[in-house]
């Protein structure tokens, strides 16, 4: 892979990536390795994580794979300790680990709601609590990428937990950005807003949601959209790293859907208009 001008700023730096074993996270890992970064890969899926780490190591990357439950503060603290023990510092944190739940918001089991909140929000908080103090103590330039979604801008039916957590990621990222600015810390915060990226997230969600016809139909529509207009995880990572290297806070690897929807949404709010359902075709 030929890297774009500007991304060489990442060469030799250490990146920690959660949810790294598949999908968007694996794309980040492969691209970070291509830029010459040292990698700490975290995921609860240990077998897949080890396979990816072996693949990247065989290609010449310096990689540490750490089985991590991001919903457990102690597990994430151990991840930070392993990172420093192996590489001495951390330069980039990519908070990416997340899961999906689909169905009527009142029918989704309490334990599934709880898991979404613990992983998609709590996991990001745990990442910040473990790594930001270390990055501040280093006093060196760094990057924190908070992976949200266009679902963090546009709420969706039948996937309320996902919408809730991705909206929460936006708030967490912006608050963090302000706080680091108050500290005059040399750490760039970027919020990543992917649209459809080819992965197994909808397949995984479908396996866990029973037989609710409406949710399955909606899931299938999203999966088809991902397969037809979605970009690969590797291309997604390439676009993200280019924009992060350029210093962007709002990282939009597929800006079309955002550009088409954000102004009408703002106008709806300004006009106090009742939201209108717009399902994927």
Catalytic residues: 162
Letter string b/e over residues 204-216, b meaning 16 or more CB atoms within 10 A of that residue's CB: ebbeebeebeebb
CB 36 within 8 A of CB 43: no
The alpha carbon dihedral of 112, 118, 121, 127 has a sign of: negative
Terminal-to-terminal C-alpha distance of the chain: 35
Task: Provide the sign of the torsion angle of the four alpha carbons 112, 117, 121, 126, taken in this order.
Answer: negative
**195 is written with which tokens?**
């649209």
Which two three-digit tokens encode residue 39? Answer: 């990698």
Residue 36 is classified by DSSP as T
CB 235 within 8 A of CB 133: no
Sequence-ordered alpha helix ranges (H) in the chain: 23-34, 46-58, 73-87, 110-116, 122-138, 160-182, 201-207, 213-229, 233-245, 255-270
- Residue 271: other Cβ atoms inside 10 A: 8
Distant-in-sequence, close-in-space partners of 228: CB < 8 Å, separation ≥ 6: none
| 90 vs 97: CA distance, rounded Å | 18
Q: Of 147, 130, 109, 118, whose CA–CA distance to 28 is shortest?
A: 147
């Amino acid at each position: 892979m030929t890297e774009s001008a500007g991304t060489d700023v990442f060469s030799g730096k250490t990146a920690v990536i959660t949810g790294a074993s598949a999908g968007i996270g694996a794309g980040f890992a492969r691209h970070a390795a291509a830029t010459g970064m040292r990698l700490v890969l975290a995921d609860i899926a240990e077998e897949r994580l080890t396979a990816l780490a072996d693949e990247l190591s065989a290609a010449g990357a310096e990689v540490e794979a750490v089985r991590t439950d991001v919903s457990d503060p102690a597990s994430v603290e151990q991840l930070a300790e392993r990172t420093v023990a192996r590489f001495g510092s951390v330069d980039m944190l990519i908070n990416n680990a997340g899961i999906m739940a689909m169905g009527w918001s009142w029918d989704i089991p309490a334990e599934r709601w709880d898991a979404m909140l613990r992983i998609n929000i709590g996991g990001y908080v745990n990442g910040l609590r473990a790594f930001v103090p270390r990055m501040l103590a280093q006093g060196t330039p760094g990057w924190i990428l908070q992976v949200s979604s266009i679902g963090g801008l546009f709420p969706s039916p039948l996937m309320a937990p996902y919408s809730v957590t991705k909206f929460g990621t936006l708030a967490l990222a912006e608050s963090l950005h302000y706080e680091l600015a108050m500290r005059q810390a040399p750490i760039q915060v970027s919020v990543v807003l992917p649209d459809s990226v080819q992965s197994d997230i909808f397949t995984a969600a479908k396996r866990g949601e029973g037989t609710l016809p409406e949710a399955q139909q909606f899931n299938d529509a999203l999966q088809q959209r991902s397969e037809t207009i979605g970009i690969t995880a590797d291309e997604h990572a390439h676009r993200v790293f280019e924009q992060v290297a350029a210093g962007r806070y709002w990282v939009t690897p597929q800006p079309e859907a955002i550009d088409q929807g954000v102004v009408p949404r703002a106008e709806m709010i300004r006009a106090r208009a009742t939201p209108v359902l717009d399902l994927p075709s």
